[in-house]
Amino acid sequence: MNNNLSLAPDFESAFKKYRTGMQIILEGAQAETGQTPKEVVWTKNKARLYHYEPVAKDAYRVPLLLVYALINRPYVLDLMPGNSLVEFLVGRGFDVYMLDWGTPGDEDKHLAFDNYVLDYMPQAIRKMLRHAHAEEYTLMGYCMGGTMTAMYAALFPERPLRNLMLLTAPIDFTPDVMGLFGLWTSEKYLNPDRIVEAFGNVPGDLIDTGNRLVKPVTNYVGSYVTMWDRIMQGKSMDTWLAMNKWVNDGVPFPGAAFRQWIREFYQQNKLVKGEIKLRGRRVDLSHITSPLLSIAGKKDHICTLPQAEAIMHLAGSKDKEFYVLDAGHVGLLTGADARKGLWPKVESWLAGRSK
């Protein structure tokens, strides 16, 4: 390396790279995401039920509904061509639907899990079955969406739920197993009522800050160091841009749901105790009897292994499996490791149970 402080010979190339990086920092990551062809089958308020166009000739009979968390955009499941769980499943012949909760407005601050589990989900499933001309279905929930699908499955065991899949779904909120979230969400330090009174819907930035503070150096500095490194070395930026766009695309958390999530789940851990009540109906996870696959990541700091594994001891299913991947909360879904780990596992487990 030349120790001279004079500028690099290829000044123009260096300037272009510098400009690219600064553009990303100033304007934010721009990327085309969610590109697998789909159509809107049904809408309710801000929620949309998408149906992905089938491409395989021989399709599985049982449709699959993806349910994501309330606080993130679901297009992480369909990040970009070649890096999309949805594209993979559609290509393998599964009839895939996705429930996108949308972006809540001020008028939605009263929406709680009661509304989402007892109103939105049953309606979406009804429309899906009608559209697919099917009598049974598979539910796949991710993160908070997994918690919601578990509650739905427990409340409606008589419905024709064929299979249940939970991806990094937190069930047990015992402080000891939650890591930093156990401290941050304790009653001593976090009063959800004050936040809801002030904001109505909790801003996505606030939620995002809380998630990023689990690994602040990596999230606030490391990601941009990686960005500059990739730019300077001329590597492809597509995946980085798509992921960065998603990470910064947080959705406001409806106030009533946020209050419920913090108080009844994180602070009082009512779900594992069977004390959660949705519109007076007690959620008893032992009523889940459908085949169950719960997947978790070893390096996941948002939903730890014990949090996800708790469902195995509570569900009443005879056919149930807990599968662990060496990945983080989001790395489990996308990227090269996901193509080798999660995707084939989902396909193999579902294939035999979707005919």
Partner 1 sequence: MPEDNKKQEPADPMEVWEHWYETTYDAWKNSIDGSKESFVDPYGLYHSWLKGIGEAQEQFKAGAAGLMDPQEAWKHWFEVTTDVWKKATEQGADPVGLTTQWLEMMEEARAKLPAGGVVPADPFTFLKQWYDATSETWSKVVGDMIGTEKFMDMASQFLESYASFTRTFNRASEAYFSRLQLPTRSDIARVAELIINLEEKVDRLDNEFEDFEDRYMQMTTGEATSGLSGRLERVESNVAAFPAAVESLEKRLERVESKLDKLLEALEKPGSEEPAKAVRRAPATHSRAQQPKAPVRKQRAAQQARVEVES
**Long-range Cβ contact pairs of 121-125 (< 8 A, separation 24 or more):** 121/67, 121/148, 121/149, 121/152, 122/152, 122/156, 122/159, 123/42, 123/44, 124/42, 124/44, 124/47, 124/49, 124/65, 124/97, 124/99, 125/65, 125/159
**Shortest CB 311 distance to partner 1, Å:** 27
3-state SS, residue 143: coil
Q: In the annotation, is 303 catalytic?
A: no
Q: Which two tokens stand for residue 10?
A: 């290829």
CA–CA gap between residue 120 and residue 101 (Å, rounded)? 9
- Closest CB to partner 1 among 45 and 289? 45
**Shortest CB 139 distance to partner 1, Å:** 21
Q: Of residues 143, 172, 208, 303, which has the active-site annotation?
A: 143
**Shortest CB 215 distance to partner 1, Å:** 7
3-state SS, residue 304: coil
Strand ranges (E), 38-133: 38-44, 47-52, 64-67, 78-80, 83-84, 96-100
- Closest CB to partner 1 among 40 and 183? 183
- Closest CB to partner 1 among 232 and 312? 232
- Closest CB to partner 1 among 32 and 106? 106
CA–CA gap between residue 4 and residue 216 (Å, rounded)? 35
**Shortest CB 194 distance to partner 1, Å:** 5
Cα dihedral 149, 154, 155, 158 sign: positive
Q: Which two tokens stand for residue 157?
A: 């065991």
Q: In the annotation, is 143 catalytic?
A: yes
Helix axes 144-155 and 121-132, enclosed angle (nearest 10): 80
- Closest CB to partner 1 among 78 and 108? 108
Q: Of residues 51, 172, 208, 329, which has the active-site annotation?
A: 329
**Shortest CB 179 distance to partner 1, Å:** 9
List contacts with partner 1 (CB under 8 A).
1-5, 8, 44-45, 105-107, 123, 126, 130, 180, 183-184, 188-191, 194-195, 197-199, 213, 215-218, 221-222, 225, 228-229, 232
Largest CA distance in the chain: 76
Question: Which active-site residues does the annotation give?
Answer: 143, 300, 329
